[in-house]
Structure 1
Amino acid sequence: MSPRHLLALLLLALSCSSFAQTVLSVRGSILDPTGAAIPGATVRLETTAGVLASQSESDAKGNFTLNNLSPGNYSLIVPTYSGFAAYTAPLHLTTSIANVKITLFTQSINQEVNVDDTNQSLSTDSSANKDTVSVSGDDLRKIPVFDQDIVATLTPFLDSSAGSSGGTTIIVDGVEMKSVGVSASAIQEVRINNDPYSAEFTRPGRGRIEITTKPGSPIFHGEANFIFRDAIFNAKNYFSPVRPPETRRIYEGHIGGPVGRDGHTSFIASASYRQQDTASVVNAIGPNGVISENVLTPNRNSQYSMRVTHDFSPNHRLSVGYNYEGSTSTNAGVGGITLPEAGYNLNSREDDAIFNDRLILTPNLINQLLVTFEKDEDVTKSVTDAPSIQVSGSFIGGGAQADIARTENTIHVNEILTWSHGKHYVRFGVQLPQFSRRAVDDHTNRLGTVKFASLTNYSANTPYVFTAQQGVGRALYWINELGSFVQDQIKLTPHLQASLGLRYDWQTFLPDNNNFSPRLSLAYAPGKGKTIFRTGTGFFYDRTGGDFPATVKLHNGVVLHSIQIQNPTFPIPPGFDFNNVPTNLARFDAHVRTPYAIQYSVGVERQIHKTITVTAAYRGQAGVKSFRSRDANAPILPPDPILSSNYPRPNLNYGQIQQIESGGRNLLNALDLSFRGQAGRWFSGQAQYTFSRFENNTGGINAFPQNQYNPNNEWGRADQDRRQRFNLIGNINPDHWLSLGVIATLYTGTPYTETTGNDDFHTGLGNARPDGVGRNTLKAGGVASLDLLYDHDFRLTRETGDKAKFLSAGVSAFNVLNHANFTSYIGSLNSSLFEHPTAALAGRQLQFSIGYRF
């Protein structure tokens, strides 16, 4: 079955109407204003005559279930509980409802309910937009998740145009982190595009993943899972000569419960261990022809977490936690045109100590303080101790020359005050996204890197550039960031709500101190609230990203002596004295400023059925002062290069001067269409289609133009631009014995650049394009993938609710259609692989799982 036929079947399934049901249920969760679960709260469903139809109590995760219901009109009631005010809301029930979210507030604070996909009227709340991707912890068990990696599974729903220079922004329990920190089963909910213009965060909604972890519990509960894959069940990779002996084993779970007998203290602990014996496929061209082989790339990952929560009173809760993650990888970087000898090994460790203090100061004022102490250690070691040899578009061999060690000690702080009064819901916060002391020992490229324009040049021993560095290579430095925000959600009328926010950001290494980001969004619901119009705009400031300041600290001409020699003699003579060659530098431009983007959107949500909402929105973005690099000491080519073979640098005391500038720009125009809800018994979930165009004139902070004296002549498609994207996640035939979890992706290809393969501008960069050819004019192939999961729970006890015990078994199939999704296309005209891919994503793979829950 082709991807086109698959999509047609999925769309047909979405169009089917629901079958009549006589026995219905309501499932949901009860949360406090910070998003934490409230266990032990009573939930009642009464008829309009006041007769009790069903009653339940929220479990350790805040979840509740009301069963054996008939269609009709009801009142959903949560009585006063543990200092929180009572809650009542009407509910019109025609079909089973899932994902009801009830937020309880203390007295005098407005209450709210979000009955996802089922409420007979939509909400104008800025965080209730139906373009949000929201997946609960229970739902995560029902969809195919490759290697239990939740972030990778949901990353396709992000938009690369909304990301930061440092990559995907991960928010865990309100704090920006590098990783999730807990095992997959300890996640309560994952959300993307929640309140797109919130002033609380540096990135817009489509540029961040918000994760809420499960809280402690007054009763014991837990989960254990074993996930495994084996090559015998997998299809062969498109470029693999034979199927490699791959195996994967994942042991994962969590346990939580009370501490002591007073009912005020609880804990939750999680752990996972991944043992993955994987392989990469080398597909290169060497001097003697094609090089095709499988290379084993085993890796191990261990993750442990522990959190204890104590309620000093109904108004004061303190949580203390610890996370550990350690991983090792062998032969990393190998694959495509990179040979096994050019691989490297990785060892990393992260330790986090987490403090979360929530205090209800008055009935309408809540303070939350989150502090995280993080320590990271990362070591990279080359597999082969030899110079690196790179032949454009053909192969990368020799040693990786990647030896480096990094340590980081960081404090993250979030202090947020929430105040409610009348029509206003105000949040104010002061944040330290990172207050970080870092050290780096850089021993990269000590034996040097030699680059050749083609295999012919390699055979003739005529490289176009040789680079190397010597020196101590150790640097200590600080990377500090400060943020603060204020945001007010105002209910202007029963049909109109506004959200006004202002954010301020500051970071080291950049001299500007005026980075104020105004944010505004409006939601209008005319009539009965089945249609909502939303619009918004805001400024979003970027960061230097990753650990780039280390480059400036190291390459200052003192810590490291880095050199570049064009058209060198090869091999390099033994005992060559680097000190006779001018050093390279890396520096920030004196006029560098923090890049920012102006995002704006307008859209409409329409509830076409009690269980189905569709949305359509236009989204635009204009990026200003984007980062780029430029060689500020590049040779000035003579009017007629043919008549001259001498290309001296303007300042003979230095080699390449990498100057980081903020002179780039970008432009996005996008149309987003989405579906969210339950189409009868046939499908429940969400789907998104995006038609967009993303253009810019820089590939990022480390990207150089081809002509260093005309850096603005790089306008073209952005590296991440995909003209069309379709993502679907959910369940086919949900809540039945034969139910399938499904994730489907259909993407058009990203662009890549055609190059001559030669160093025509004599900068040592080798990124020259043919005359008249722009950046990113070639197009890679698209991506089509279908993942399915069949999973079934076997009840081990007759008890229901918190006392129920389950044994589960499942099988997931990834890339079911075994479609060849190609990557790593070659753009060098000197290569025999020009316009051909050198790698492909995995073919069809089966993953088996067995689990126990109590």
Structure 2
Amino acid sequence: MRRHGLNIRTLFVCLTSVLLFSAQLALAQQQRTGGEATLKIAVVDPNGAAITAAWVSVKTAEGIEQKGQTNRQGEVTFTRLSKGTALVRVEAAGFEARFLGDIKLSAGSNRAEVQLEIASIKEDVSVAEDEQEKNSDPRGNAFSSVLGEEQIAALPDDPEEFENAINQLAGPDATIRVNGFRGGKLPPKSQIREIRFRRNPFAAEFHERGFVSVDVFTKPGISDWHGSFGFGFRDEALSARPVFAPRRGPEQLRRLNFTLDGPLWKNHTSLFLSADATSNYDSKTVVAALPEGRFDDVTLRPARRLNLSARVEHLLDKTHALRFEYQRNAGRQDNLGVGDFDLPDRAYTLDQSEHILRLSESGVFAKRFLNEVRAQVRLTERETLALSDAPAIQVLNAFTRGGAQTGGNRRTREFEVADNLDFSTGRHAMRAGFLFEAGNYRSDEMANANGTFIFASLDAFRAGRPTIFSQRTGDPSLSFSRYQFAWYWQDDFRWRKNLMLSFGLRQEFQSQLRDRSNFAPRVGLTWSPNKAGTLTVRAGAGLFYDWFEAGTYEQTLRVNGQRQSDLVVRDPGFPDPFSNGTAGTLLPPGRIQSDPRMQIPSIAMAGLGVEARLLKRFRLNADYRFERGLHLLRGRNINAPVAGLGRPNPTEGNIIQIESSASSTSHRMMLHFGPLMLNSKLFWMVTYMYSNTINDGNGPLGLPADNYNLRAERGPAPTDIRHFFSAFLSR
């Protein structure tokens, strides 16, 4: 024991000596550098892609100048710079030269991103770009926030918490794109170069409307191999017992993640791999009133998920880059459908898998044009399996038991191709492009195939007197295809040094609708009124369209009265709905159809935004949006009984018609407050939104209370969130 203790003391002395020696070395290094600064500059094109072989020069206040060329990642680093201000000039073939003045350098690491515009067809004399010019550029840094690699590294390591952090920073209704693609999973944060939050909703290139769009750009390539391995664990130790639960339910989450990236061909080709596996379970409380008495229990809900991705980045030449990516995302969830009034026999299992293939190429051609083309193939499969195939029994305000009334398979094959072209002429910076999407859908999913009994009360259940029996009958198998297309043109015209005017036009149409004249004009202006550039005003207006979704269109094909129909029996027998003789009433079968005159939904939007830089440290954004929805989709029973007259067509049951007759009005104000420059040590953001949304329709399959008095439906929308507040802090 004595000898063992001596070894421990010796080890402690050795470790202490090493730490003291390391501290002395660090102090000596700091004294030698004298508080010198390091500056890393990233050069990107208007799409956010890295520009290689760009020449960058940095000149300090003392007149000392350093020059360098960007690497495969579009970055160049300058060391041993003196603190203070510096002048930066960036030049690249096919792009306008850019001059940045008064970049502040502090001791230690500094980072700046420079976005170059496509060279104008008419050559102009290159002059220094002041704050008014930068802030009046709708694609510039005004009304946008950027997270670099250092800030991204400070975000949570857990993939789900990382994604939640991005959503909190963006605020509600944000659209997230990764290298221009929507959907799929976010890449690991170690593989992300930059995250840009933009507030430019009136650009013609966007189909979606909203306050914020989030563009995630991955690292274009690396020179060394890197890898990471992570493990996470969480259980119910700090969870409280739900109020109505008889006990605290078990919870657990186990997560493994892995990344590996490096060069396959140095300075040409890089490989990025990642894997994320999760196994977890939580508990759902069941509280019901059964004929034999109160029932309460806790049901375990296991789930597991595995996400894999591989990406290859290849530099074709100095101005062209090729990117290929594959994702596989799969998951299984058990005991869904259980909880609240739903008893354990209502459980069902959901298995889902997704395969995504992505290919994109971007670069400059003819020295004046920047083109980006991307294509995506998305394959998904979904299988639902119910624990029981018994008819469902629903006793209002008491319990629901029996089968989940869901099951079957669904497969989708979706294809997308898009192209964006940027070019400039004189004072015009233009962008044009198109989007084509096509899909094939196959499904044999069943809903309410074994029927549902509805009882008005427990007493009615004890007496065996259901009020309604409903069942969807017929063959659920179907297959259909569809496509949708959009093109756009955008012109950003610099009217004055501090004023940019934007004009755009977009057209969209779908194969399911006859409506083709869906032109969406967009206009906007960006104005920086003061010379210091501390105030920027942005205003705009435009027309947007919403797609007629594939899932809604599928219902019109599935429940069309021929393939499938809804059977309804009033006052049925129990357990045999047809055993009640003449007392039961079999209603004619119902169906779902779309209005032949249906139009694509449209939303007219106008907005005004102000960004102010306060005390040279903070940024305040205030955005107001007004929206007027026209031709919105609603469901209406056009064969509903009329008081005293019965149904218009007594030989048919409910005919749910999807029509574009609804409307909405929305006022929203969003405030963002945060630091002017985000740093890696501490960054934060506060968001508040006020919203007031009124409508008279709740979706394509939502029915009004009175099918012949639609005006009475006007009121607060279900999605109306009057106040929203979010605060984010990371260090």
TM class by smaller structure: 0.7 to 0.9
d(CA) in 2 for partners of 1:106 and 1:450? 66
SS of aligned partner of 2:182:
strand
Residue 502 of structure 2 is matched in structure 1 by 499
Quick one: which amino acid aligns to residue 629 of structure 1? G
Aligned equivalents of 2:81 and 2:69: distance in 1? 16
Shift of 1:189: 4.0
Aligned with 2:441 (options 438, 443, 467) = 438
TM-score computed with the length of structure 1 as normaliser: 0.74
Q: Is the 8 A contact 1:505 1:541 kept in 2?
A: yes
Q: Residue 472 of structure 1: which of 450, 471, 475 is its match?
A: 475
Residues 602 and 120 (structure 1), Cα distance of their counterparts in 2 relative to 1, 3 Å cut? closer
Aligned equivalent of 1:611: 617
The answer as to whether partners of 2:476 and 2:558 remain within 8 angstroms in 1 is yes
Alpha-carbon distance between aligned partners in 2 of 1:453 and 1:544, rounded to the nearest angstrom: 36
Give the one of 200, 203, 207 matched to 1:202: 207
Other structure's SS at 2:654 match? strand
What is the deviation of 1:483? 0.8
Residues 1:214 and 2:212 aligned together? no
Contact 1:128 1:195 in 2 (8 A): no
Distance 1:370 1:440 in 2: 29
The residue type equivalent to 1:75 in the other structure is: L
| Deviation readout 1:398-451 (Å, 9 max, x if unpaired) | 21111131111111010111112222111111111x200111112221111223
Query: What is the distance in 2 between the residues matched to 1:67 and 1:237?
Result: 57
Q: Which amino acid aligns with 2:474?
A: G
Counterpart position of 1:655: 653
1:169-212 deviation per Cα after TM superposition (whole angstroms, max 9, x unaligned): 543322333x2364454344444554211211211243754433
1:552-588 CA deviation, whole Å, 9 max, x = no partner? 1111122213212233223234799999763221110
TM-superposed CA distance for 1:394, in Å, is 3.9
CA 1:56–1:317: 2 relative to 1, 3 Å = closer
SS at match of 1:654: coil
Q: Are the equivalent residues in 2 in contact too, given 1:391–1:454 (CA < 8 A)?
A: yes
Using the size of structure 2 for normalisation, the TM-score is 0.85
1:142 aligns with 2:142: no
Amino acid across the alignment from 1:563: L
Deviation of 1:58 (Å)? 6.6
Q: What CA deviation, in whole Å up to 9, does each residue of 1:156-179 have, x standing for no partner?
A: 56676xx6xxxx7543322333x2
Higher relative contact order (CA 8 A, sep 6+): 1
- Secondary structure of 1:483's aligned partner: strand
Counting only pairs closer than 5 Å after superposition, residues 425-574 of structure 1 correspond to structure 2 as 425-432=429-436, 434-528=437-531, 529-545=533-549, 547-573=551-577
Quick one: distance in 1 between partners of 2:273 and 2:238? 33
- Give the paired residue count: 687
Question: Which residue pairs with 2:6 in the alignment?
Answer: none
3-state SS in 2 of match to 1:712: helix
Corresponding residue to 1:632 among 614, 638, 642:
638
Q: Distance in 1 between matches of 2:280 and 2:113?
A: 38
2: CA distance, partners of 1:209 / 1:454:
50
Decide whether aligned partners of structure 1 residues 159 and 217 sit closer, same or farther in structure 2, where only a CA change above 3 A counts.
closer
Partner of 1:800: none
- What amino acid is the match of 1:101? E
CA 1:233–1:531 in structure 2 vs 1: closer, same or farther (change >3 Å)?
same
Kindly indicate whether residue 101 of structure 2 is the aligned counterpart of residue 90 of structure 1: yes
Q: 1:182-197, aligned counterparts within 5 Å?
A: 182-183=187-188, 185-197=190-202
Hey, what's the Cα distance between the residues in 2 that align with 1:288 and 1:601?
59
State the secondary structure of the residue aligned to 2:444.
strand
Q: 1:367 aligns with which of 371, 374, 380?
A: 371
Post-superposition Cα deviations, 1:467-511, rounded to whole Å, max 9, x if no partner, equal 112222111101211111111111111110122111111112222
| 2:387 is aligned with 1:383 | yes
Q: Deviations over 1:56-103 (max 9, x none)?
A: 9878765677677665321134465x8766543112427689773312
Aligned to 1:691: 690
Unaligned runs of 5+ in 1: 1-20, 112-117, 639-646, 732-738, 740-854
Task: Kindly report the root-mean-square deviation, in angstroms, between the aligned alpha carbons of the 2 structures.
Answer: 3.4
Q: Distance in 1 between matches of 2:676 and 2:197?
A: 19
Q: Distance in 1 between matches of 2:590 and 2:157?
A: 46
How far apart are residue 458 of structure 1 and its match?
Answer: 3.5
| Identity value in percent | 28
Q: 1:457, 1:91 → 2: CA distance?
A: 80
CA separation of 1:576/1:470 partners in 2, compared to 1, >3 Å: closer, same or farther? Answer: farther
Partner of residue 830, structure 1? none
Pairing partner for 1:664 from 662, 665, 679? 662
Asked whether the 8 Å contact 1:506–1:513 carries over to 2, the reply is yes
Could you tell me how far apart the structure 2 residues matched to 1:500 and 1:336 are? 53
Partner of 1:599: 605
CA distance in 1, matches of 2:76, 2:233: 32
Letter in 1 for 2:498: H
Range with bigger deviation, 32-41 or 198-207 = 32-41
Describe the superposition over 1:11-44 as per-residue Cα deviations: whole angstroms up to 9, x where unpaired: xxxxxxxxxx977776664323321235786765
Judge conservation of contact 1:198–1:204 (CA < 8 Å) in 2.
no
In structure 1, the residue matched to 2:675 is 677
Q: Secondary structure at the match of 2:692?
A: strand
Residue equivalent to 1:73? 85
* Cα-to-partner distance string for 1:818-839 (whole Å, 9 max, x where unaligned): xxxxxxxxxxxxxxxxxxxxxx
| 8 Å contact kept, 1:604–1:615 | yes
Report which of the two structures shows the higher radius of gyration computed on alpha carbons.
2
The 1:156/1:93 distance shift into structure 2, 3 A limit, reads: closer
CA contact (8 A) 2:43 2:115 kept: yes
Q: Which runs of 5+ in 2 are unaligned?
A: 1-33, 125-129
Q: Which amino acid in the other structure matches residue 675 of structure 2?
A: G
Q: Tell me the residue number matched to 2:25.
A: none
- Please state how far the C-alpha of 1:127 moved relative to its aligned partner: 3.7
Query: 2 CA distance for matches of 1:559 and 1:509?
Result: 19
Distance verdict in 2 for CA 1:238–1:131, change over 3 Å: farther
SS of 1:482's partner is strand
